[in-house]
Structure 1
Amino acid sequence: MSDTLLHRSASQDAEALLSVKGLKVHYPVRQGWRGRSLAVRAVDGVDLSLRAGQCLGLVGESGCGKSTIAQAILGLVPATSGHIRVDGHDITGGRRADPMQLARSAQMVFQDPMSSLNPRQTIREILAGPLRLHGMGNRDERDARVQEMLRLVGMKPDAASRRPDEFSGGQRQRLCIARALILNPKLVICDEPVSALDVSIRAQIINLLLELKDELGIALLLISHDLGVVEHMSDRIAVMYLGRIVEEGGWREIFTDPAHPYTRALISAIPDPLHRDQAPERLRGEIPSPLNPPPGCAFHPRCPVAMDRCSAGANPEFTTIGPDHRGRCHLIESELQDA
């Protein structure tokens, strides 16, 4: 690697609000009563970086490890190996960040707003709870902060005295966003934030998140399998398959010139009313088990353009395609060598 690339990489890490390097999360299991010990490789060597004011979309099929990455970033599941830093705080290693400090830096918006709100508490109690837990302000100051957050997410002041079951799904998600932002975090992880909502409400929540990102300067890590949402919200996109990132780049590079066969298959599955005659690229077979991933490239059993070398040898390494575009595929390596 050249000195220029080393300097650029070092400067990006210095600016990154979130830095994930070589992250692995393996869950040990035992096969049978007296069977050998195995490990579910939920995340198997992931590198990510995210700067303030950016939105990084993390996409892939269910079970590929997206939510596990989010939980590892928040310290909710232990990392088997690798390094995570959030706003200068170490999440892994010997000098792990205090959970209270981490909570003030990173928060999460969950998929189902109803199950993440306490039905026995009023909205005032739900929103003021984090402030009280962190010892921030007196009662009047906390009430003022609650009113400020309600206004920020487009809710009326009288919502504070009501309970979660008195609101619609979209309103409850607005309240979850308010709770996530009440401590002024710099990173907000959104795990399928609109998948449980009606289609008519999704656009409102998406636009609200984008407005808050620009107004507050926060970073968003958007986890989703809906590429339409990811395309609309993300500055950069990372495509994940079976615990590993297979392609990463700016949203324009990913959607206009996808390099990995898996990425192309995902994008071709997006409904397009202007090109109804174009059938999506269909992948054969099922996702392999993370207990026993296939040799070589993990995607080769389902890949429509797999070569002999894909099933033999090591998993392909990342190949630089452009200034902000890289992919993990032997086909990419071959095409660049031929160019």
Structure 2
Amino acid sequence: MQAIVVNSLGGPEELRITQSPAGRPGPGEIAVQVSVAGVNFMDTGTRRMGIPTGEIPFIPGVEGAGRVSEIGPGVTEFAIGDRVAWVFAWGSYAERIVLPVTSAVRLPDDISDEVAASVMMQGITAHHFVTEAAPVGPGDVTLVHAAAGGLGQKIIQLVKARGGTAIGLTSTAAKAEVARRFGADHVLVSTGDAFVKPVLELTDQQGVDTVFDGGGETTFHASMKVLRRHGTLLYYGAVIGAVPTVTLRELPNSIKISYPVFRDHIPTREDLVRNTEKIFQLIRSGQWKIDIGRRYPLRDAAQAHRDIESRATTGKLLLFP
């Protein structure tokens, strides 16, 4: 099978298409013919820092959609030919993947493979952020960094679906229009920490209830400054540069800091199935519109990484074997 293989950690040039052996599923596993794989900013960190097992070479990518082509011993959840989507299964940048059934869900007929591959990582992440890690309720005011990106769009739409107000931050005027299209009540074009003054002005110096900050160390301390009393800074920028540090005495206004871990929203397969069904229902109802920013053939995975790292893209990036 063809796959994108990382033989050495480094830049996008390390993503090379190669003929790779197709694995066979073991107990509790399925093999899937990949129709589409999702590209996430997290993948760029994997390319630079490796996968948790430390294994090199490896095939990157953690989400996608396709059809079951083989089942391992003891598998009863799926049958050959079933359409499935998965998340957090390493090796998704390939024509075929072997993955545990605990990472997969069956796709309903009204959810396309492209849509599924666009929401398994970012959709579950946004749902975790807005419903559990820092729950948004009616009347809450939120600040969403990188508001035009695939994750930012989903956060904004879910904030609005739950009755909140969304202030979006983007790096360009063109991206600001995208954030408005996906429901942002206000959009500020800002880089670095320049957003502090305009956010406070928008909120009559009161600040916001929640900040969703994936900007890394450069924005972390500024995000604390725009929170109102007892507000929450939800930080998720671990793959962007240095991890910020803070002492408890530095925290202003009795704020809370949340660092949500993806698997804590889906600790079991039952949780994965339940939460993905909630996400599919948001799509069916029109409360979540999915923006596919760019599509690439599998061989152009390196270009997809260059594009996502340039911050020039909006919406979800997808790879097609």
TM-score, normalisation: structure 2: 0.28
Which one has a bigger Cα radius of gyration?
1
